[in-house]
Chains A and B, each alone.
Chain A
Amino acid sequence: MEISFQDITYTYSTGTPFEHRALQNIHVQFNQGSYVAVIGKTGSGKSTLVQLLAGLLLPTSGVLQVGDTRIHSRSKKLGEYRKKVGVVFQYPEHQLFEETVAKDIAFGPKNLGCDVAEIEHRVVEAMSWVGLSPDLRDRSPFELSGGQMRRVAIAGVLAMRPDILILDEPTAGLDYLGQRDLLSILKRFHQHFGCTVVHVTHNMNEAAELAEQIVLMSDGKVISTGKPVEIFRNLPYLQVSGLDVPDVTKWIMSLNQNLSTPVSTEIYELSALADELIHRWRRGS
């Protein structure tokens, strides 16, 4: 399903002293099946944007078109739509509530009306996707470590096999291995199911590594969108938005200060940088 935000504005608490316009005239499109990263500093409107996409907030004005579904200020009955969208909120482990890991993961598929066999299949599959050992299925989620709880919460959303998977800062608070693991899970899940992924982050390394399209937000507006190279080309612009370039890019930039033929700053994976340096070294010797 193609996603299209058409002149969307969102105001919190309209008509009260707390009225706050969080999004202003948003125009942006995501292709079906693409991996989209939404970046921007705190308060720029990222979470509001994805809550609109999840059907949890309605636009104050403008239209959100997702496939055949039109969402606007007076939309009703978004229940069917929400079934197609899986959302992993910030700190999702705080939303676990069932007595066992398996029941928690089964909650989503059950709500979708899957039969018992299908639910079981999806629970087993989702646990394997996120790397939870099968013998944890009957444990209470509250006896698990923070990192494992995060995996249970994410498994619950993956088990719904959403057409659109939304993740709001999914790696926040995880340790380094936890972060790396989760990113590789997301990458494989996206490739396997071909769903559209919308991943909110303020980690530029994550955005560069995973995204096909980056949406850069500032002050309630989309100020730029495009491929990672198109976004990270402009360091001063990013810094004004309170952001930065990926670590690899920063490193290539300092390397380039003394190279007659600069290394391409379109490289975001360290292994690709190593390949490039080896290539140059071999060519020279």
Chain B
Amino acid sequence: MKHTKSLIELSGVWFDYHPDRQMKEQWALQDINLTIQSGEYVVVMGPNGSGKSTFARLLNGLFIPTEGEVRVGDFSTSDDLGQFHIRRKVGMVFQNPDNQIVATTVRDDVAFGLENLGVPREEMIPRIEQALEVVGLVGFENREPAHLSGGQKQRLAIAGVIAMNPDIIVFDESTSMLDPQGREEVRELMKELHQQGHTVIHITHSAQEAFLAERVIVIAHHRLQLDCPSKDLYNQSHLLEQWGLEVPLPIRLRALLKDQGLEINEPIGNSDEMVAQIWRYLSKT
């Protein structure tokens, strides 16, 4: 695919829940300018209350900018027709798996969104099957969602989103309530969806998860503060620290070693490279 235009474009976006009551410097989101290309895998980090969920909801037209414009594909969220199309293009997966389940069987839960869209029955069946296949829940069709594990519930929520054929999937802290296995399941699935060509936007507090993406955006104090390739973060961890975000373990270790006189200045692009450096320094001696 060749892109002449960005898939998502935010220009001069300002938003507040009560714009008439708040001073502009307190608005929930301030002066956001950003483009995301089709097929990107972007992580969004930032302290609590900085505006990440608001940002997510602006992307699918659930909220409309108070000022500025959000465009997805050929449409703007500021007009009714645009909203109609954009809601279908942008799927959202939230934090709490229990709040996203609506039906009493796995199959019906996936069907729910399609029914709302008015998808005919004969088309629904293959779409449900395919969505369950993608998330690895084939064989669970008649199971009761309440009895699934956390990771399985979250994968079911993702199936419901995938069945709608969105181009973009936004995960709003969707791994934060899961146990380690559930987290791993959902991370794997994000990777797969990205490889299949979906644009993936993942809001998270985990440095480890940030490095699974190609690009990291930091929203802090209601503004876009940083936008860079994730591999750059390793050598610019002060940027993460500045906003109170998690610094990857090898980089924290490097700083502690430096305090005690062992300075490792070679660039570190990932965890394995740090392991290799330590080996080198310990064997040099």
**Inter-chain contact A270/B173, CB cutoff 8 Å:** no
CB-CB under 8 A for A41 and B149, given A175-B244, A204-B180, A277-B262: yes
**Inter-chain contact A42/B150, CB cutoff 8 Å:** yes
**Inter-chain contact A255/B275, CB cutoff 8 Å:** yes
Among A178, A275, A281, which residue has the most Cβ atoms of chain B within 10 A? A281
CB closest chain-A residue, reference B147: A43
Quick check: is A248 within 8 A (CB to CB) of the other chain? yes
**Inter-chain contact A270/B256, CB cutoff 8 Å:** yes
CB-CB under 8 A for A242 and B180, given A146-B49, A285-B285: yes
**Inter-chain contact A284/B282, CB cutoff 8 Å:** yes
Q: Chain B residues with Cβ under 8 A from A202's Cβ?
A: 178-180
Q: Chain B residues with Cβ under 8 A from A247's Cβ?
A: 208, 249
Quick check: is B145 within 8 A (CB to CB) of the other chain? no
Choice from B47, B176, B282 contacting A280 with Cβ under 8 Å: B282
**Inter-chain contact B181/A242, CB cutoff 8 Å:** yes
Q: Chain A residues with Cβ under 8 A from B260's Cβ?
A: 274-275, 278
Quick check: is B95 within 8 A (CB to CB) of the other chain? yes
Cβ distance B100 to chain A, nearest Cβ, rounded Å: 15
**Inter-chain contact A175/B249, CB cutoff 8 Å:** no
Q: Which of B165-191 contact A (CB under 8 A)?
A: 173, 176-182
Interface string of B235-277 (1 = CB under 8 A from A): 0000000001110011011001101111000000001100100
Q: Chain B residues with Cβ under 8 A from A273's Cβ?
A: 253
Q: Chain A residues with Cβ under 8 A from B271's Cβ?
A: 251, 254
Interface string of A41-69 (1 = CB under 8 A from B): 11100000000000000000000000000
Q: Which of A7-57 contact B (CB under 8 A)?
A: 40-43
Bound-state CA distance A281–B262 (Å) is 8
Cβ distance B5 to chain A, nearest Cβ, rounded Å: 34
Quick check: is A173 within 8 A (CB to CB) of the other chain? yes
CB closest chain-A residue, reference B95: A173
**Inter-chain contact A243/B181, CB cutoff 8 Å:** yes
**B interface residues, tally (CB under 8 Å):** 41
Bound-state CA distance A113–B200 (Å) is 54
Quick check: is A162 within 8 A (CB to CB) of the other chain? no
CB closest chain-A residue, reference B279: A258
Quick check: is A133 within 8 A (CB to CB) of the other chain? no
**Inter-chain contact A146/B272, CB cutoff 8 Å:** no
- Size category of the binding interface on chain A: 35 or more
Q: Chain A residues with Cβ under 8 A from B22's Cβ?
A: none
CB-CB under 8 A for A176 and B149, given A42-B178, A259-B279, A281-B282: no
Chain A interface, DSSP helix/strand/loop, else mixed: helix
Interface string of B188-208 (1 = CB under 8 A from A): 000000000000000001011
**Inter-chain contact B179/A175, CB cutoff 8 Å:** no
CB closest chain-B residue, reference A257: B275
Quick check: is A174 within 8 A (CB to CB) of the other chain? yes
Bound-state CA distance A278–B244 (Å) is 27
CB-CB under 8 A for A176 and B253, given A42-B178, A285-B285: no
Bound-state CA distance A258–B275 (Å) is 9
**Inter-chain contact B285/A284, CB cutoff 8 Å:** yes
CB closest chain-B residue, reference A201: B179
Choice from B49, B150, B208, B249 contacting A270 with Cβ under 8 Å: B249
Q: Chain A residues with Cβ under 8 A from B262's Cβ?
A: 277-278, 281
**Inter-chain contact B249/A41, CB cutoff 8 Å:** no
Q: Chain B residues with Cβ under 8 A from A242's Cβ?
A: 149, 179-182
Q: Chain A residues with Cβ under 8 A from B6's Cβ?
A: none
Quick check: is A177 within 8 A (CB to CB) of the other chain? yes
CB closest chain-A residue, reference B245: A176
Bound-state CA distance A258–B277 (Å) is 12
Quick check: is B278 within 8 A (CB to CB) of the other chain? yes
Bound-state CA distance A141–B197 (Å) is 44
Q: Which of A151-188 contact B (CB under 8 A)?
A: 172-179
CB closest chain-A residue, reference B47: A175
Cβ distance A173 to chain B, nearest Cβ, rounded Å: 6
Show the binding face of B for A, using Cβ within 8 Å. 46-49, 95, 149-151, 173, 176-182, 205, 207-208, 244-246, 249-250, 252-253, 256-257, 259-262, 271-272, 275, 278-279, 281-282, 284-285
Contacts beyond the supplied A174-B205, A271-B256: 11 A-B pairs with Cβ under 8 Å: A41-B180, A42-B151, A146-B48, A175-B48, A202-B178, A204-B180, A243-B180, A270-B249, A274-B253, A281-B285, A284-B284
A-B contact list, 27 entries, CB within 8 Å:
A41-B179, A41-B180, A41-B182, A42-B150, A43-B149, A172-B176, A172-B177, A173-B176, A175-B244, A176-B207, A202-B180, A239-B181, A244-B180, A248-B249, A251-B253, A254-B275, A255-B279, A258-B275, A259-B279, A259-B282, A270-B249, A270-B252, A270-B256, A271-B256, A273-B253, A277-B278, A281-B282
